[in-house]
Amino acid sequence: MVINVIMSVLCDTICVWALYFRDSAYRKHVLHLRSKYGLIIPDICFLEASYPICRAKGIEELRKYSKFIENLPLSKNIEILKTDIEDLQEALKIATQQPENFIDEENNLCLFDALIASIWTRTRMTLASRDPKLKNFGKKKRLKYIQLKKQ
Q: What is the pLDDT of residues 7-62, one digit of tens each?
A: 899 999 999 999 999 999 999 999 999 999 999 999 999 999 999 999 989 999 99
Give the distance, in angstroms, between the CA of residue 51 and the centroid of all CA atoms in the same chain: 15
Q: 128 CB contacts (<8 Å, ≥6 apart)?
A: 9, 10, 11, 12, 14, 15, 30, 33, 39, 145, 146, 148
Is 0.85 surpassed by the pTM of this model? yes
Return the domain boundaries, the chain: 9-147
Of the candidate CATH numbers 3.40.50.300, 1.10.1840.10, 3.40.50.1010, 3.40.50.2020, the domain formed by 9-147 belongs to 3.40.50.1010
Q: What is the pLDDT of residues 108-149, one digit of tens each?
A: 999 999 999 999 999 999 999 999 999 999 999 999 999 999
pLDDT band at 3; cut points 50, 70, 90: very low
